[in-house]
Structure 1
Amino acid sequence: MREGVDFDAAIAYLGHLVEMGISHLYLSPIFTAAPGSTHGYDVTDPSEIDPALGGREGFKRLSDAAQAAKIGLILDIVPNHTAFSLDNPWLVDVLRHGQDSRYAPHFDIDWEAGPLVLPWLEEPFEALADQGKVIRSGETLRLGELAIPLRPGVEMEDPQELHEAQVWRAVHWARERDGVTHRRFFNVTGLIGMRVEEQRVFDDMHALLLELLAEGRVQGIRIDHIDGLADPAGYLVRLRAAVGETPFWVEKILTGDERLPDWPVEGTTGYEAAAIIARVLADREGAERLHAAWVDQTGGAATFHEAMETAKGDVIRRDLAAELYQLIGLARVAFAPRADVDPGDEALREAVFALLRAFPRYRTYVAGGTASPEDRALMGQVAQEAGATLRSGEVVDFIAEMITDPQNADETALSIRFEQVTGALLAKSHEDTAGFRWTPYLAACEVGADPDRPAANAADLDDWAQVQPGTGMILTSSHDTKRSEDARMRLVAWTHSPDDALSLIAHARSLPQAEEVPANVLWYLVQSSLAIWDRDDAELDERLADHLTKALREGDEITNWTHPDAAAERAVQVCLNALINNWRHETPAALSRIVERGEQLSLCQLALKMMLPGSPDIYRGCEATHFALTDPDNRRPVDLEALHAAHAAPGLAGQKARLLKLLLTLRRDHAELFANGAFRAEQGAEGLVVRRSGPLAEVVLCLAPGGSAVKGTHWPQQDEAAQSPLSLSVLPAETAIGAA
Structure 2
Amino acid sequence: MTEPVPPAGGVPTATYRLQLTPEFGFDAAAGLTGYLAELGVSHLYLSPVLQAVPSSQHGYDVTDHTRIRAEFGGEEGLRALAARGLPLVADIVPNHMTVPVPESANARLWDVLQHGPAAASAGWFDIDWADGKVTMPVLGDGVDVSAEVVADGDVLRYHDHEFPVRPGGGGLADQFYRLAPWRTPPGYRRFFDVSSLIGLRVEDPEVFEATHEVILRLVADGVISGLRVDHPDGLADPRGYLTRLRERAPVWTVAEKILIGDERLPADWACDGTTGYDALNMVTRLFVDPAGAAPLIDLFTGRTGFPRDYDTVRYEAKKQVLAQFFGGEMDRLTRREPELRAAMVELLAAMPVYRAYVVPGEEPPAETVKVIRAAADAAAGRADPALVARAAELVLSGPAETVTRFQQTCGPVMAKGVEDTALYRWYPLACLNEVGGEPDHFGVSAAEFHEFCAGMAPYTMTTLSTHDTKRSEDVRARLAVLSELPAEWAAAVDEWSRQVSFDPKLDYFAWQNLMAAWPISTERFAEFLYKSAREAKTSISWIAPDAAYEQGVREFAARAIEVCGPSVAAFTERIDACARVNSLGQKLVQLMMPGIPDVYQGSETTDFSLVDPDNRRPVDYAYRRTLLGAGGDSWDADKLHVTASALRVRSRLDPVAPYAPIETGDPGEPGEHAIAFARGEQAVVVATRFPAGLARRGGFGAATLTLPPGRWRDVLTGAPHTGRVPFAHLLARYPVALLEKE
With normalisation by structure 1, the TM-score equals 0.89
How much is the aligned-residue C-alpha RMSD, in angstroms?
A: 2.0
Give me the whole-angstrom Cα distance separating, in 1, the residues matched to 2:405 and 2:448. Answer: 35
Which residue is 2:246 aligned to? 240
Give me the whole-angstrom Cα distance separating, in 1, the residues matched to 2:44 and 2:690. Answer: 31
Does the aligned pair in 1 maintain the 2:518–2:569 contact within 8 Å?
Answer: no
Distance 1:168 1:565, change over 3 A: same
- Indicate the SS of the match to 1:645: helix
Which residue is 2:678 aligned to? 692
Give me the whole-angstrom Cα distance separating, in 1, the residues matched to 2:151 and 2:566. Answer: 62
Partner amino acid, structure 1, of 2:114: R
Which residue is 2:716 aligned to? 715
User: What do the CA deviations read for 1:231-283 (whole angstroms, capped 9, x no partner)?
Assistant: 11111111111112x11000000001111101121110000111001111111
Q: Structure with the greater relative contact order (CA < 8 A, sep ≥ 6): 1 or 2?
A: 2
Which residue is 1:372 aligned to? 365
Give me the whole-angstrom Cα distance separating, in 2, the residues matched to 1:76 and 1:588. Answer: 38
Residues 1:327 and 2:333 are matched in the alignment: yes
Which residue is 2:217 aligned to? 211
Partner amino acid, structure 2, of 1:353: V
Distance 1:730 1:181, change over 3 A: same
Q: After TM superposition, list the pairs within 5 Å mapping 1:361-510 onto structure 2.
A: 361-370=353-362, 371-390=364-383, 392-406=384-398, 411-510=399-498
Does the aligned pair in 2 maintain the 1:500–1:590 contact within 8 Å?
Answer: no
Does the aligned pair in 2 maintain the 1:624–1:646 contact within 8 Å?
Answer: no
Does the aligned pair in 2 maintain the 1:552–1:560 contact within 8 Å?
Answer: yes
Does the aligned pair in 2 maintain the 1:693–1:699 contact within 8 Å?
Answer: yes
Q: After TM superposition, list the pairs within 5 Å mapping 1:11-26 onto structure 2.
A: 11-26=30-45
Give me the whole-angstrom Cα distance separating, in 2, the residues matched to 1:650 and 1:679. Answer: 32
Residue of structure 2 aligned with 1:152, choices 164, 167, 175: 167
* Count of aligned pairs between the two proteins: 686
Give me the whole-angstrom Cα distance separating, in 2, the residues matched to 1:700 and 1:253. Answer: 27
User: What do the CA deviations read for 1:373-393 (whole angstroms, capped 9, x no partner)?
Assistant: 211122122222212223x31
- Indicate the SS of the match to 2:377: helix
User: What do the CA deviations read for 1:99-123 (whole angstroms, capped 9, x no partner)?
Assistant: 1211100100011143011111235
**Whose helix proportion is higher, 1 or 2?**
1
Does the aligned pair in 2 maintain the 1:33–1:43 contact within 8 Å?
Answer: yes
Residues 1:89 and 2:94 are matched in the alignment: no
Does the aligned pair in 2 maintain the 1:714–1:728 contact within 8 Å?
Answer: yes
Residue of structure 2 aligned with 1:139, choices 150, 154, 157: 154
Residues 1:164 and 2:173 are matched in the alignment: yes
Residues 1:653 and 2:636 are matched in the alignment: yes
Residue of structure 1 aligned with 2:690, choices 698, 702, 705: 705
Partner amino acid, structure 2, of 1:713: D
* 1:458 to partner: Cα distance: 0.5
Give me the whole-angstrom Cα distance separating, in 2, the residues matched to 1:527 and 1:556. Answer: 19
Residue of structure 2 aligned with 1:273, choices 279, 285, 288: 279
- Indicate the SS of the match to 2:575: helix
Give me the whole-angstrom Cα distance separating, in 2, the residues matched to 1:704 and 1:731. Answer: 24
Does the aligned pair in 1 maintain the 2:431–2:476 contact within 8 Å?
Answer: yes
Residues 1:188 and 2:194 are matched in the alignment: yes
* 1:46 to partner: Cα distance: 1.3
Distance 1:716 1:530, change over 3 A: farther
User: What do the CA deviations read for 1:652-671 (whole angstroms, capped 9, x no partner)?
Assistant: 110011111111122223x2
Give me the whole-angstrom Cα distance separating, in 2, the residues matched to 1:60 and 1:166. Answer: 43
Which residue is 1:621 aligned to? 602
User: What do the CA deviations read for 1:195-251 (whole angstroms, capped 9, x no partner)?
Assistant: 11111111111111111011110110000001000111111111111112x110000
- Indicate the SS of the match to 2:600: coil
Give me the whole-angstrom Cα distance separating, in 1, the residues matched to 2:270 and 2:178. Answer: 42
- Indicate the SS of the match to 1:679: strand
Residues 1:541 and 2:522 are matched in the alignment: yes
Which residue is 2:14 aligned to? none
Distance 1:289 1:472, change over 3 A: same
Residues 1:52 and 2:71 are matched in the alignment: yes
Give me the whole-angstrom Cα distance separating, in 2, the residues matched to 1:56 and 1:352. Answer: 46
User: What do the CA deviations read for 1:352-399 (whole angstroms, capped 9, x no partner)?
Assistant: 111111111101121323311211122122222212223x31121112
Does the aligned pair in 2 maintain the 1:308–1:434 contact within 8 Å?
Answer: yes
Give me the whole-angstrom Cα distance separating, in 1, the residues matched to 2:136 and 2:516. Answer: 40
User: What do the CA deviations read for 1:614-660 (whole angstroms, capped 9, x no partner)?
Assistant: 11100000111111000000000011101102232441110011111
Give me the whole-angstrom Cα distance separating, in 2, the residues matched to 1:626 and 1:231. Answer: 38
Partner amino acid, structure 2, of 1:725: P
Does the aligned pair in 2 maintain the 1:604–1:705 contact within 8 Å?
Answer: no
Give me the whole-angstrom Cα distance separating, in 2, the residues matched to 1:598 and 1:11. Answer: 34
User: What do the CA deviations read for 1:119-148 (whole angstroms, capped 9, x no partner)?
Assistant: 1123566x131x3x4332222122343321
With normalisation by structure 2, the TM-score equals 0.89
Residues 1:72 and 2:73 are matched in the alignment: no
Give me the whole-angstrom Cα distance separating, in 1, the residues matched to 2:188 and 2:481. Answer: 45
| 597-606 or 296-305: bigger deviation | 296-305
Give me the whole-angstrom Cα distance separating, in 2, the residues matched to 1:488 and 1:705. Answer: 14
Residues 1:675 and 2:694 are matched in the alignment: no
- Indicate the SS of the match to 1:625: coil
Which residue is 2:347 aligned to? 355
Percent of aligned positions with the same letter in both sequences?
Answer: 34
User: What do the CA deviations read for 1:24-77 (whole angstroms, capped 9, x no partner)?
Assistant: 110000001113111000101112111111111111211112x3xxx1100000
Distance 1:606 1:144, change over 3 A: closer
| 572-581 or 8-17: bigger deviation | 572-581
Partner amino acid, structure 1, of 2:94: P
Distance 1:693 1:59, change over 3 A: closer
Does the aligned pair in 2 maintain the 1:620–1:638 contact within 8 Å?
Answer: yes
Which residue is 2:318 aligned to? 312
Give me the whole-angstrom Cα distance separating, in 1, the residues matched to 2:265 and 2:634. Answer: 39
Distance 1:297 1:717, change over 3 A: farther
- Indicate the SS of the match to 1:268: coil
User: What do the CA deviations read for 1:465-492 (whole angstroms, capped 9, x no partner)?
Assistant: 1110111111000000110111111111
Partner amino acid, structure 2, of 1:293: L
Which residue is 1:252 aligned to? 257
Partner amino acid, structure 1, of 2:739: S
Which residue is 2:707 aligned to? none
Residue of structure 2 aligned with 1:291, choices 291, 297, 301: 297
Residue of structure 2 aligned with 1:30, choices 49, 58, 61: 49
In structure 1, list runs of 5 or more residues that go unmatched.
157-161, 333-344, 733-740
Does the aligned pair in 1 maintain the 2:641–2:716 contact within 8 Å?
Answer: no
In structure 2, list runs of 5 or more residues that go unmatched.
1-19, 705-712, 720-728
Distance 1:495 1:322, change over 3 A: same
Which residue is 2:737 aligned to? 727
Distance 1:59 1:610, change over 3 A: same
Give me the whole-angstrom Cα distance separating, in 2, the residues matched to 1:57 and 1:656. Answer: 36
User: What do the CA deviations read for 1:658-692 (whole angstroms, capped 9, x no partner)?
Assistant: 111111122223x22x5323332544343323222
Partner amino acid, structure 2, of 1:356: L
Distance 1:443 1:681, change over 3 A: farther
Residue of structure 1 aligned with 2:647, choices 633, 650, 664: 664
Partner amino acid, structure 2, of 1:167: F
Does the aligned pair in 2 maintain the 1:461–1:681 contact within 8 Å?
Answer: no
Distance 1:134 1:401, change over 3 A: same
